[in-house]
Structure 1
Amino acid sequence: MTNFKLTVSDVKGKSITKELKDSDANKLLGLQLGNETDASIVGLQGKLKLTGGSDKSGVPMRNDIHGSARKYILLSKGVGLQAAEIGQRIRKLMRGNTISEEIYQINCKFDGELPVEAPAEVAAEPQENK
């Protein structure tokens, strides 16, 4: 029973969020960051490239750590380190580049443009006061 929140961004910078459950989510298990998959799992025509993600506790995935385990690594710049001074290195907890059941959010890049959806209009119904 795997659930993922999939954030899909297009070439123009627009993004949408979809929630994948069970059978659709199982198609992503075992894929690594940088791999491409079919965009039909979110209802689009084309390819999705996996670019990142994080687990249930917010630990980010990093492309240069193999596997799906969480590891402490020494960072001087890059993914997972906001601001470090010149010459400063910090040991941080990161997750590997393979999607497993512990992953909560996955970031993807769509190779085309996302369709424009019209905003849903809220029907104004009069409410009775009692």
Structure 2
Amino acid sequence: MPNFKLTISDIKGKSVSKELKDSDANPLLGLQLGNETDASIVGLSGKLKLTGGSDKSGVPMRNDVHGSARKKILLSKGVGLQDAETGQRKRKLMRGNTVSEEIYQVNCKFNGELPVEAPAEETTEEKAEEKKE
């Protein structure tokens, strides 16, 4: 059964992390990067656009590698290559653009604003008990 850690960002730059397990995660299986899905799977109204992700060992997903397999590709710039000088190319291990059971983290973009969750304030009774201890 798939387990995903979903990182959802909104248009203002705020991000929230949610965890999807078992049957809740099934709608994401088989989707490719750039596809949109309904945000009701995480309790929001709107659309989620898949933008990236990584597998259990940290290998990033890349939009131009097809399928869900891990492949070594020759990179000159872009996702997965940090310090490339001009003209330098490196062969790096990348994951394909399709979400499968091996994927651990999925990054998404929400097409609206995420709801603001107010921090839970302690009651005066709880504060008084802490001071006594």
TM over 0.5: yes
Q: Over aligned residue pairs, what C-alpha RMSD do you find?
A: 1.3
**What code does the residue aligned with 1:86 have?**
T
Residue matched to 2:14: 14
CA deviations over 1:79-129 (Å, ceiling 9, x no partner) = 001110000001100000000000000000000000111012345363686
Q: Give structure 2 stretches of 5+ with no counterpart.
A: none
Which residue does the alignment assign to 1:77? 77
Q: Name the CA distance, whole Å, in 2 between partners of 1:120 and 1:57.
A: 35
- Unpaired segments of 5 or more residues in structure 1? none
Deviation at 1:24, TM superposition (A): 1.1
**2:29 corresponds to:** 29
Q: Helix, strand or coil for the counterpart of 1:27?
A: helix
Runs of 4+ in 1 over 4 A off after TM superposition: none
Equivalence for 2:121: 121
Residue 107, structure 1, aligned to residue 107, structure 2: yes
Instruction: Map residues 54-73 of structure 1 onto 2, 5 A cutoff.
Output: 54-73=54-73
Q: Distance in 1 between matches of 2:35 and 2:122?
A: 40
**Greater per-residue helix proportion:** 2
Q: 1:122/1:74 Cα in 2 relative to 1: closer, same or farther (>3 Å)?
A: farther
Q: Which amino acid aligns with 2:47?
A: K
Q: Kindly indicate whether residue 45 of structure 2 is the aligned counterpart of residue 45 of structure 1.
A: yes
